[in-house]
Chains A and B, each alone.
Chain A
């Protein structure tokens, strides 16, 4: 099974799909930086809007992203409820009743801001994963200045994930042929626990293959000192350059806001 089918990549022709992966990675980096520095609702809301704009510009089909949104929304509901209750229960003015703490705007804000940050982060990173073909990460990082050897680690990892999932199934079947009977039937937890005995044989067999793979790669010239080029040459369009410039400006704005806040100038 190719990695492209395994990773949640959705083919499409939206402006976000056509963006250079380097521009998308730059955008994600500066968005994470801005989210990390943002501390008030007025600073976090614009980042949520930017993230959602990024997501909706990708025009991803609902049936392909439904599972992701179910996960994100479940996480948000659980986190909001936990935040709200713990903030109200643990923090607040002395002698204040629980009811007044629960309705205080400070409690609501303190519970909601982290959840908005998480939603912004989830929407942006999911858009990157859904719109970037897995075979483009290594060329993008390589053409961003990372040495080809280090960038190739990602390519290797994505190539072997589907193989190891298949290897897990094969090893389980081989163990069952020798009498191992995973308990549980249709119970999902017991079926998961059946994977635990596979950790040691699959890991040891994979670790032993490292030397053979490395030898095979070196025999084909990997690791040479000469300059290596990438088969997939990336070129930045005007839209890519605009996204990179916008991302840098976004990051610079939040760094400046943080400096001004630290100096008590705002």
Chain B
């Protein structure tokens, strides 16, 4: 498999990966945006959070960030017609943090068991950091939320918890499935 760490962050492959990751995340979110969690403030249950995590882990942190950021902005624009910038950045962090695997483990490990465990751990960290950023910037900048308790109980906990569970389970499965498929097609992963 090709040594992805040597790729430039904005090579043609990575630019296409950003576009495809964005489109995939947006396409799935259009369906999952309908699935609002009761008792929260417009937090949707999204198994699709594994998509920016997967793109970050496989193609690098910049690809993951762009896939999460733009994918969320486009899906919001399709679902209701506008967008919230801080939730877009939070979704970008969902993709950026798993991309840090590029700097944490050797490249030959990313498609092995140790890599899958690190992918699951990074998915949980990304969910906590990304959704924490979005929820608490809603409070700090006063976008619809007046109290830190609301930001915690109605935004942060439901969003971070569901994203962490979905990400920790689905992101390593996606990485393993991609690794097997890429090997089968004799393509670089």
**Bound together:** yes
B27, A164: Cβ atoms closer than 8 Å: yes
Q: How many residues of B contact A (CB 8 A)?
A: 63
Could you count the A-B residue pairs with CB atoms below 8 Å apart for me: how many are there? 209
**Smallest Cβ-Cβ distance to A123: which chain B residue:** B82
Contacts of B19 in A (CB 8 A): 152-157, 159-160
Contacts of A71 in B (CB 8 A): 79-81
A86, B146: Cβ atoms closer than 8 Å: yes
B78, A79: Cβ atoms closer than 8 Å: no
Contacts of A122 in B (CB 8 A): 82
A208, B13: Cβ atoms closer than 8 Å: no
Min Cβ gap B146→A in Å is: 4
Contacts of B26 in A (CB 8 A): 157, 161
Given A68-B80, A125-B82, A210-B16, does the pair A79, B27 have CB atoms closer than 8 Å?
no
Main secondary structure of the interface of A (DSSP, over half): helix
Given A8-B78, A83-B145, A217-B12, does the pair A153, B18 have CB atoms closer than 8 Å?
yes
Min Cβ gap B111→A in Å is: 13
A115, B144: Cβ atoms closer than 8 Å: yes
Contacts of B50 in A (CB 8 A): 199, 203
Interface string of B12-38 (1 = CB under 8 A from A): 110111111011101110111011000
A189 at the interface (CB under 8 A from B): yes
Interface string of A72-97 (1 = CB under 8 A from B): 10010011001100110011000000
Contacts of B84 in A (CB 8 A): 121, 125
**Smallest Cβ-Cβ distance to A223: which chain B residue:** B12
Docked complex Cα distance between A261 and B74 (Å): 36
**Smallest Cβ-Cβ distance to B18: which chain A residue:** A153
Of the candidates A65, A165, A168, A204, the one whose C-beta lies within 8 Å of that of B174 is A204
**Smallest Cβ-Cβ distance to B185: which chain A residue:** A208
Size class of the contact patch on chain A: 35 or more
A–B pairs, 22, beta carbons within 8 Å: A8-B81, A75-B41, A83-B144, A129-B77, A147-B10, A156-B15, A157-B71, A163-B23, A192-B32, A195-B28, A195-B31, A200-B170, A203-B50, A203-B54, A204-B181, A206-B23, A208-B178, A210-B13, A210-B17, A211-B188, A214-B12, A222-B12
Q: What 10 new A-B contacts, CB under 8 Å, besides A87-B147, A160-B20, A207-B20? A: A32-B85, A67-B81, A68-B81, A75-B42, A78-B41, A82-B150, A129-B82, A156-B20, A199-B48, A200-B170
Residues of chain A touching chain B, judged by Cβ–Cβ distance below 8 Å, are 6-8, 32, 35-36, 39, 65, 67-68, 71-72, 75, 78-79, 82-83, 86-87, 90-91, 110-111, 113-115, 117-118, 121-126, 128-130, 147, 149-150, 152-161, 163-165, 167-168, 188-189, 192, 195-196, 199-200, 202-211, 213-214, 217-218, 222-223
